[in-house]
């Protein structure tokens, strides 16, 4: 634990839950607003209470909620209890395991399941389920048992989980070196004109909304990100596309497709829960709202996954069914597009 200027009577047993460095271009901004833009699922009340309790530190000193964060400030949120990811509790949650051997398993993740514990999601995660069903899973570089890669809460589909240290190292290297194969199916707003193409643009945190990722020119900000897309079916005001990842950045498909002008259907964080394309007719509006009810999440599914098996050296590939909610939504758009042409 680093030396901190703690209030009189405070315990030295504080654990870091969040840490942020303000950008060089950061204009003065109240620390509560600064943290609201960076901590998912946080509320203003919780952040203000943390400041009141002396748990928000800037450059090692506790600050009040109205402290103005400046460029290069180190902002940390600390509490007397360890972060929940370090207090992992096994939970008897069913897993859809489509393949398993002594080195790894491949899981088909349902919508709504968070992959690992974090702020606001401390239980019911994939990791809680994994450590119940499997003993002695190896930790990845972030201390998360079994996890080689992750997909978002509302995204469905395939994940590979390592069961041994050797498998963890081998698989992690494949993902880092871009030799694994991952194909997603996405329903996006608008008519994607080109039958196929490649989106290249660095991905990093959005400068104003830190819960979003944004696309930047090479060298400006963020990390290299490459997505290859192919149109599967045009359905009028939406398009079904296949996206093959060459890199694996946070929200890569969501950010790249929005940057291209085709936000994912019902992707609330990126504005896809609004009617972005179509007509002003009330019947159309009702149709889209019904589609949102059928698919109450981002229209994204991790359909196929391929990699070199860490033990046998052979290439293995897995495929998963598109979940029923996404299938029904696509079918509704298919029928709508058909009748619109008639």
- Enzyme catalytic residues: 152
Q: Give the integer Cα–Cα distance in Å for 158 and 303.
A: 7
Identify the three-state secondary structure at position 327: helix
108's enclosing H/E stretch is strand 104-109
Identify the three-state secondary structure at position 287: helix
Contact assessment for residue 162 and residue 103, using Cβ atoms and an 8 Å cutoff = yes
Helix runs in 218-318, H state only: 252-259, 282-294
Give 342's contacts (C-beta < 8 A, 6+ positions apart): none
Give 191's contacts (C-beta < 8 A, 6+ positions apart): 234, 236, 237, 239, 277
Total number of residues shown for the chain: 342
Q: Give the integer Cα–Cα distance in Å for 144 and 83.
A: 13
Whole-number Cα distances in Å, 228 to 43, 219, 275? 37, 21, 26
Identify the three-state secondary structure at position 224: coil
Phi-psi category of 54—alpha, beta or left, where left has phi over 0 and alpha has psi -120 to 50?
Answer: left
Residue with the two structure tokens 């199916």: 185
């Amino acid at each position: 634990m680093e030396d901190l200027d703690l209030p009189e009577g405070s315990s030295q047993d504080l654990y870091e839950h969040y840490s942020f460095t303000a950008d060089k271009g950061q204009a003065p901004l109240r620390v509560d607003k600064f943290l609201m833009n960076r901590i998912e699922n946080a509320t203003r009340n919780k952040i203000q209470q943390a400041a009141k309790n002396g748990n928000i530190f800037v450059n090692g000193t506790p600050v009040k909620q109205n402290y103005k964060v400046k460029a290069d400030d180190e902002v940390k949120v600390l509490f007397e209890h360890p972060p929940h990811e370090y207090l992992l509790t096994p939970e008897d949650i069913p897993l859809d395991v489509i393949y398993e051997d002594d080195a790894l398993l491949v899981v088909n993740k349902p919508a709504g399941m968070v992959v690992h514990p974090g702020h606001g999601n401390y239980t019911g995660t994939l990791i809680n389920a994994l450590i119940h069903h499997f003993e002695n899973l190896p930790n990845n570089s972030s201390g998360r048992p079994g996890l080689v890669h992750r997909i978002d809460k509302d995204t469905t589909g395939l994940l590979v989980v390592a069961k041994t240290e050797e498998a963890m190292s081998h698989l992690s290297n494949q993902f880092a070196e871009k030799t694994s194969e991952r194909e997603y199916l996405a329903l996006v707003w608008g008519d994607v004109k080109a039958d196929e193409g490649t989106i290249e643009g660095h991905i990093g945190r959005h400068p104003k909304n830190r819960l979003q990722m944004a696309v930047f020119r090479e060298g400006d900000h963020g990390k290299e990100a490459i997505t290859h897309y192919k149109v599967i079916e045009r359905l009028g005001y939406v398009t079904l596309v296949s996206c093959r990842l060459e890199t694996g950045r946070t929200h890569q498909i969501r950010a790249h497709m929005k940057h291209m002008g085709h936000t994912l259907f019902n992707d609330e964080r990126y504005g896809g829960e609004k009617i972005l394309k179509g007509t002003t007719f009330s019947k159309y509006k009702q149709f889209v709202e019904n589609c949102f009810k059928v698919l109450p999440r981002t229209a994204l599914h991790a359909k196929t996954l391929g990699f070199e098996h860490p033990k046998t050296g052979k290439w293995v590939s897995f495929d998963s069914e598109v979940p029923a909610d996404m299938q029904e939504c696509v079918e509704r758009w298919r029928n709508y597009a058909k009748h619109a042409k008639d």
